[in-house]
């Protein structure tokens, strides 16, 4: 009977202590929970930084492509009526191809830049949505996931546009270099033209 009485008194003591403790608020968060929430909000910062770097690089490439387009159009206009000279005619054709490459690059860069801005907005929205979900309810976890997927999809699409633009830039450089080399063989010294172009070896020197 003594054992049973001690067990009963211990149970009452535990109940009394539990009743004296203040009830916990469902919205109260301790310090480790706050740190975990902030860490989750900082997670999209890597993609935000990547978007910022791509935006700066794409803006610079777009400005250079626009300047290149204006320079080509300025150089092409005076040669519009000069068709008697064969060299002038070839140069006019080369400039027209360069104008096509430059305008295509400008359009691709503009499309990529708009997608990068949209992806940046989605990633910032993802970070904000993570914090809101953490302090409200876990029933809205699909919102940051959807925003993150949309941002990643836009970033991937912008990367494909930049790859396509780099291919046009390479084609434009090759076209211009072929014309310059053909022009050099026409007006260059005969002995050097007969030797051909000197190509640099892997470990130094020329052949």
DSSP per residue, the chain: -HHHHHHHHHHHHHHHHHHHSPPPPTT---HHHHHHHHHHHHTTHHHHHHHHHHHHHHHHHHHHHHHHHHHHHHHHGGGSS--SSHHHHHHHHHHHHHHHHHHHHHHHHHHHHHHHHHHHHHHHHHHHHHHHHHHS-GGGTHHHHHHHHHHHHHHHHHHHHHHHHHHHHHHHHHHHHHHHHHHHHHHS-HHHHHH----B-TTS-B-
Residue 193: per-residue pLDDT: 66
How many domains is the chain partitioned into structurally? 1
Question: Does residue 30 lie in a domain region?
Answer: no
- Kindly report whether the global pTM for this prediction surpasses the value 0.75: no
Question: Does residue 19 lie in a domain region?
Answer: no
Mean pLDDT by 10 residues, the chain (207 residues): 44 47 47 64 84 94 92 78 70 87 94 95 90 77 88 94 94 88 76 66 51
Question: Does residue 150 lie in a domain region?
Answer: yes
- The domain in which residue 150 lies consists of 47-185
Question: Does residue 165 lie in a domain region?
Answer: yes
Question: Does residue 52 lie in a domain region?
Answer: yes
Question: Does residue 206 lie in a domain region?
Answer: no
Question: Does residue 162 lie in a domain region?
Answer: yes
């Amino acid at each position: 009977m003594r054992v049973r009485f001690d067990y009963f008194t211990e149970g009452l003591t535990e109940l009394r202590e539990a009743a004296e403790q203040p009830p916990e608020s469902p919205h109260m968060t301790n310090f480790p929970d706050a740190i975990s929430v902030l860490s989750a909000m900082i997670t999209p910062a890597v993609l935000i930084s990547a978007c910022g770097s791509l935006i700066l690089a794409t803006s610079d490439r777009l400005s250079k492509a626009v300047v290149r387009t204006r320079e080509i159009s300025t150089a092409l206009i005076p040669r519009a009526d000069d068709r008697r000279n064969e060299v002038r005619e070839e140069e006019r054709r080369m400039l027209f191809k360069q104008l096509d490459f430059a305008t295509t690059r400008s359009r691709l860069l503009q499309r990529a830049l708009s997608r990068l801005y949209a992806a940046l907005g989605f990633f910032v929205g993802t970070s904000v949505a993570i914090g809101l979900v953490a302090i409200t309810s876990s029933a809205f976890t699909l919102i940051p996931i959807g925003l993150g997927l949309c941002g990643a999809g836009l970033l991937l699409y912008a990367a494909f546009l930049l790859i396509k633009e780099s291919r046009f830039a390479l084609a434009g450089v090759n076209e211009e270099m072929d014309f310059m080399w053909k022009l050099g063989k026409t007006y260059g010294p005969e002995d050097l033209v007969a030797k051909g172009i000197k190509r640099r070896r892997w470990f130094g020197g020329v052949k």
